[in-house]
Chain A
Amino acid sequence: MSLRRVGVLLGKELLQGPKNFIFIWAVVAPIVISLAVSLVFGNLFTDKPTLGVMDEGDSRLVTMAADLTSVVTKEYDTVAGLRDAVQRGAVDMGIVLPDGFDDSILQGEDVRISAYTWGESLAKERAILRATVLDLARQLSGREATVQIESTSLGDETSIPWDDRVLPLVVLMAVFLGGLFLPAISVINEKEKKTLEALVTTPTTIEEVFVAKGVVGFGLGLFTGIVILVLNQAFSAEPLLLVLVMALGTVMASEIGVVSGALIKDTTTLFAMWKFGGILLFAPAFVYLFPQIPEWVAKVFPTYYLIQPVVEISQQGGGWPEIATSVLVLIGLDLAMLGVAAAVVSRARAYGISS
């Protein structure tokens, strides 16, 4: 294998790559997906009730509600706007505070508040919102509470925000879109356009072509993966360890990409395989999304050994002792996949590239 020829091929890939839609897609898609998925999963499973307030006067209750951490508060300028928000489900309950509300409360007068409740809001959310509005009104009146509440959290564990749970999925997408998809599609494109056969009639060997394409995929996958970690504020702890783990994971992605490129005949089949196989690659991420799924399920999938160290370092403050086993398994998987890739590439050389 000539490193100089690999370098020339690499230069060609880097020069031509950005003109290819897939190259752009592999960089842009994870970032867009990161934002979209965070939005979807960050909101879909949250139980935080939303209170809409339309204040006809200048009540302090609006500020007090906005300061609460247990309720999301949104302000509206008109009753129609508030009602529309309730109708669309933007808020679970909307209240209209009449002009002079605070004065009435301070003077001990009874006040009637119009409240609109979204039909699809949960009973517990309605209960919490009703109690919250009444509690805020009591606080506004300056009356001393009848009880003193002492809250205790049992154990040291903390709840995992959905944004954190989604991170493994987005990281895997970033690594595998660039690392796997790019080399695979690049090889398949060359096969479809018959340029691969032309290339190997020169002194360039098929191994050199595949290595160059794998390296481009590796570089892009690693770059996008790290960008995603930075965007999600998950790159501050142990950056060197994170880079090592991401690099090992991207090597696996590139190896699978090269093998896929060698075995798959056309782009349509690659997309079909991605449609199904992609889910298998991302399966461990679903275990992090839904912690009620036993962790052993995730361990069946090779990508677990990439994602476990990333989560351990970035979210749980872990270090080498906590990730050593996974990293060693990941290295083993990389070596095994390297063997498979070597066998597949040599088969491609022996039986004809397009077979």
Chain B
Amino acid sequence: MNLRVVAALVWKDFCLFFRNRFFAAVSALGIVVYLAIYFAMPGSVDETLEVGLYAPVVPPVVEQLQEEGVELKKVASEEALKQAVADGRYVAGVVLPPDIMDKLATGEQARIDLYFAPDAPQEIKGGVEVLVTELAYLQAGEQAAVELSEEIVGMDMAGMQIPPRDRLRPLFAVFLIIFETFALANLISEEAERRTIHALLVTPMRMRELFLAKGITGTSLAFAQAVLFMAIVGGMSREPLVVLVALLLGAVLATGVGFLIASVARDMMSVMAWGVVVFIVLMIPCFSIVLPGTLSHWVEVIPSYYLVDTVHRAAGFGSSWGSLWSNLAILLGYEAVIVCTGILALRRRFR
């Protein structure tokens, strides 16, 4: 293996890639735009329902409710409460009558007025109605005949939920990685289309050096963009080494897929045609992170699942090597198969 040849080939590919300054600038701007989308999205999770309360007499049970994901804020008057709800400061406003304690004590039905913001969705309206009804039952001393024996499944994230934008973080990083599949496949198919590959093969360069060089180019392009993105959005703050290794393995996976696409694609158009299909398949596991529960276990057949899951768990929950080594091992196994198959397929094409 002649490393100087490899280095020269890598340098050539990088020069080709960035020769077009507009292309280079736009690639960088692409990351900037993803960052802009990331930072434009909500950076925190609103875990509690903030409800305004006007009550001349505040029932003691109100304090109990505040511990259960509902924050009741007392307001001085009914008018102030309505204004606050209309302004969107509270999702709902509750008005308790002055005689509520007496009525609850005597078993007489009391009337409670609820005010909602004009754009309050149905789930908020229904949820607040149910919560207030339950509150009244508790205050009246009518305990429910049902006792919930609760078990938290998975890590209890109460109070430390992952914001929507951080849930999308692995999706963006994986998107950047997989998108480079197109670039690498195009670089290789261009070599074949323009017959420069045959020119290269009459030099002292050997096939393995060619593949290593293309692999380094593809991997480093994908890896660098993903790492840059994750570093800026704080995706490296927890378990950075695990995230880095996962992204590196992801970049190698993208390279292997790029080899496979290049082995069947004749030109840029067929790179796109094959690439889009592969791209869609590889992006499917991202849905399991963005929309938990929408996909069942079949998604684990797709190799990118192990990349997405690892990045999500390491960056989002701080999962360490101990719980993620199996993901990384499976990912490594997948890409060994994909890269080898890609190289074999390309060898056949170049022969």
Contact = CB atoms under 8 A, between A and B. Distances in A.
Interface in A245-285: 265-269, 271-273, 275-277, 279
Interface in A92-145: 95, 104-105, 108-120, 122-128, 130-135, 137-138, 141, 143-145
B133 A119 contact: no
A320 interface: no
Given A116-B153, A276-B33, A133 B68 contact: no
Interface stretch (B211-219, B264-272, B327-335): B264-272
Interface in B122-160: 122-127, 129-134, 136-137, 140, 142, 144-159
B47 A124 contact: yes
B26 interface: yes
A180 to B, nearest CB: 16
Contact of B153 (A87, A123, A135, A279): A87
B57 to A, nearest CB: 15
Interface stretch (B103-111, B202-210, B252-260, B342-350): B103-111
Interface stretch (A157-165, A194-202, A226-234, A325-333): A157-165
A273 B29 CA distance: 10
B293 interface: yes
Contact of B151 (A115, A138, A275): A115
Contacts of A265: 20
Interface string B269-291: 11011001000000000011011
Contact of A146 (B104, B115, B123, B126): B104
A146 B100 CA distance: 10
Contacts of A279: 33, 37
Nearest to B100: A147
A88 B146 CA distance: 26
Contact of B292 (A29, A46, A88): A88
Nearest to A155: B118
B223 interface: no
B185 to A, nearest CB: 11
| Prevailing SS type, chain A contact patch | mixed
Nearest to B127: A128
Contacts of B20: 265, 268-269
B302 to A, nearest CB: 16
B70 interface: yes
Contact of A147 (B49, B133, B276): B133
B181 to A, nearest CB: 13
A47 B114 contact: no
Contacts of B23: 268-269, 272
* Most B CB within 10 A of own CB, among A71, A268, A269: A268
Interface in B89-120: 104, 107, 109-120
A345 interface: no
Interface stretch (A37-45, A206-214, A217-225, A335-343): A37-45
Interface string A22-58: 1001000100000000011001111111100000000
B129 A151 contact: yes
B118 A268 contact: no
B290 A159 contact: no
B65 to A, nearest CB: 8
A131 B134 contact: yes
Interface residues of A, number: 93
A290 interface: yes
Contacts of A49: 123, 127
Given A45-B164, A268-B268, A90 B118 contact: no
A318 to B, nearest CB: 18
Contacts of A127: 49, 65, 68-70, 127, 131
A89 interface: yes
A156 interface: yes
Interface in B214-272: 268-270, 272
Given A90-B293, A105-B146, A154 B82 contact: yes
B124 A150 contact: no
B152 to A, nearest CB: 5
B294 interface: yes
A154 B113 CA distance: 12
A191 interface: no
Contacts of A87: 153-154
B145 A128 contact: no
Nearest to B272: A21
A110 B145 contact: yes
Which 3 residue pairs spanning A and B have beta carbons closest together? A70-B126, A89-B292, A90-B293
20 contacts: A44-B290, A45-B164, A69-B122, A70-B122, A88-B292, A112-B149, A115-B149, A117-B151, A117-B152, A119-B154, A126-B68, A128-B123, A131-B127, A149-B114, A151-B115, A154-B85, A156-B118, A272-B23, A275-B179, A276-B30
Given A113-B147, A131-B133, A154-B118, 8 more contacts: A40-B290, A68-B126, A119-B155, A131-B131, A138-B144, A149-B132, A154-B85, A272-B23
